[in-house]
Amino acid sequence: MFELKRGRRNRCRALLAGLALVLAGSTSALAEVTVLGWPGGPEETALRATTKAYNERSGLAEADKVKLIFFNREGFWDKLQADLAAGSTEFDLNLVATYSLGKYAPFMQPVDLPADSAKVFGEKVLKTMQFDGKQYGVPTDLSLHFMYVRKDLMEKLLADDGWKKTYGEIAQNYLGKPLQPVKPEEWTWDDYAATALFFTKSINRASPTRYGTVLQMKNLLFNMMVFQTMARSYGADWQDATGKITVDSPAYRTSLELYKKLYDAGASPKDSLSYEYAEANAAFGAGQVATMLQWNAAAADLDNPAKNAVVAGKIDTLAPPKGPEGRTTHIHGLGFGLNKASTHKEGAVKFLNWLAGAEAMKIYAEAGGSPALDNSLTAALPKRPDLAKIGDFAGQYGFVMTGGTSAGALQVYETQAKNFTGYWAGQTDLDAALKETAAKMQELLKK
């Protein structure tokens, strides 16, 4: 009896094994292009809508249709790097980000996008997906910075002679300059600083807000991206053409000192040293702050009456103020590139090329994504007026620091965050902070 049962078990196993081989062959014959996306939020929603539209195109072969997979957000980038390095064929196209592109580039295949992609995105936006002069992906979502301003407060400042007089006195006392209020769209960083000081109640008792601005000063790499928007407008960069580290420069010094001056004066909350995106939004949304340099992603929530009734309808979102080198804004993107180990490269490239076109980006934007598009395309998206500013500002003012897509870029931001926050907190002096930052950057960015 025992031998009979064992024989049946063996026959069942053989049948299952054979069935598995049949199914494997069937799956291979109808293989789909697999895309690894960013889980949750508008990026996933937009990718799903765009992929659905692609798969419904007439004449598309079954083998070229696209399916989506998603890792968990926690540990996403580490798992991606490990899978790429191991030669995983689980996905053909994968998410990439500007600031970590250099980590993944050795395991990815450069792509030649259609010529029209430059008309869709613009050269500066395409550059967010470039490493060592090669294109590694299609930029689907862009992040940059707006200057958020309480327009109701600025209207009164520009019209009230008493406020103007006080403004001039504060500018002279704190900045050593006899400034007068100007429209926010005409601001220099000195104008921003003077306005921030004026709308600080501890400096000006007539101020309707407690603070004039809110600085994100926590020891966090993304806060450095916000900060470098100011520094770049003064001429800052990470490296020069020879590869020399240039962080110890008048541009960085001026910007670091201005941050500290505003913080020490009380123009930003005293606990700003622990602030990042959420805390800054909370302070501004509560009506406690008059101005804020912040990511474009905050605009929709801050101007939503259901979420921020105190300030909704009272906000202008403008390009960052001018420095000696003009207006600038840090930009970085999320996008999709080709896994070098892909077993369906032909179909993957077809999808990637379509994704780089106007038709796909219109669908992506209407589904909630945030692509930076040419103005000729945003005009056809009346439900997304914010995209016009994203595309316009990215095209005119966007930058990626030299070395900003390298393998060590994230660690550069972390190094800056550690040392710059230490300086702002009074734990180290400016010379020491810049010296340590430069030494570590030299190590991280060496070829």
- pLDDT tens digits, 104-118: 999 999 999 999 999
C-alpha–C-alpha distance, residues 277 and 189, integer Å: 21
C-alpha–C-alpha distance, residues 177 and 190, integer Å: 9
C-alpha–C-alpha distance, residues 332 and 315, integer Å: 24
Confidence (pLDDT) at 447:
60
Confidence (pLDDT) at 28:
35
C-alpha–C-alpha distance, residues 134 and 193, integer Å: 40
Nearby residues of 1 by Cβ (< 8 Å), 6 or more positions away:
none
Which tens digits make up the pLDDT trace of 269-320?
A: 999 999 999 999 999 999 999 999 999 989 988 999 999 999 999 999 999 9
Confidence (pLDDT) at 190:
98
Sheet strands side by side (includes 145-150) = 211-213, 289-295, 145-150, 315-318
- Tracing tokens 């429209």 back to the chain, one arrives at 183
| Phi-psi group of 188: left, alpha or beta (phi > 0 → left; psi -120 to 50 → alpha; rest → beta) | beta
Confidence (pLDDT) at 307:
94
Q: What pTM did the predictor assign?
A: 0.85
As given in the structure block, the two tokens for residue 228 are 């470098």
- Whether 437 shows a pLDDT value over 50: the answer reads yes
Confidence (pLDDT) at 385:
80
> Looking at residues 227-252, what average pLDDT do you find?
97
Confidence (pLDDT) at 318:
97
Backbone phi and psi for residue 245, each to the nearest 5 degrees, phi listed first: -70, 130
As given in the structure block, the two tokens for residue 5 are 């049962």
Backbone phi and psi for residue 233, each to the nearest 5 degrees, phi listed first: -70, -15
Within 13 Å and on the Cβ side, how many CA atoms surround 310? Answer: 13
Nearest to 158 by CA among 383, 316, 11, 294: 316
> Looking at residues 251-273, what average pLDDT do you find?
98
Which tens digits make up the pLDDT trace of 353-397?
A: 999 999 999 999 999 899 999 888 888 888 788 888 998 999 899
Confidence (pLDDT) at 364:
95
Cβ pair 179, 168 in contact under 8 A: yes
Can you give 310-348 as a three-state secondary structure string? CCCCCEEEECCCEECCECCEECEEEEEEEECCCCCHHHH
- Whether 6 shows a pLDDT value over 70: the answer reads no
- Whether 47 shows a pLDDT value over 90: the answer reads yes
Confidence (pLDDT) at 134:
96
C-alpha–C-alpha distance, residues 406 and 102, integer Å: 4
N-to-C CA span, the chain: 71
Which tens digits make up the pLDDT trace of 129-173?
A: 999 999 999 999 999 999 999 999 999 999 999 999 999 999 999
> Looking at residues 91-116, what average pLDDT do you find?
95
Exposure string of 374-411, with b = 16+ CB inside 10 Å and e = fewer, is: beebbeebeebebbbbbbbbbbebbbbbebbbbbbbbb
β-bridge partners, 318: 147
Confidence (pLDDT) at 15:
43
pLDDT band at 72 (very low <50, low <70, confident <90, very high): confident
pLDDT band at 4 (very low <50, low <70, confident <90, very high): very low
pLDDT band at 329 (very low <50, low <70, confident <90, very high): very high
| 3-state helix, strand and coil shares in percent for the chain, rounded to the nearest 5 | 50, 15, 35
Cβ pair 63, 347 in contact under 8 A: yes
Confidence (pLDDT) at 300:
84
Backbone phi and psi for residue 110, each to the nearest 5 degrees, phi listed first: -60, 155
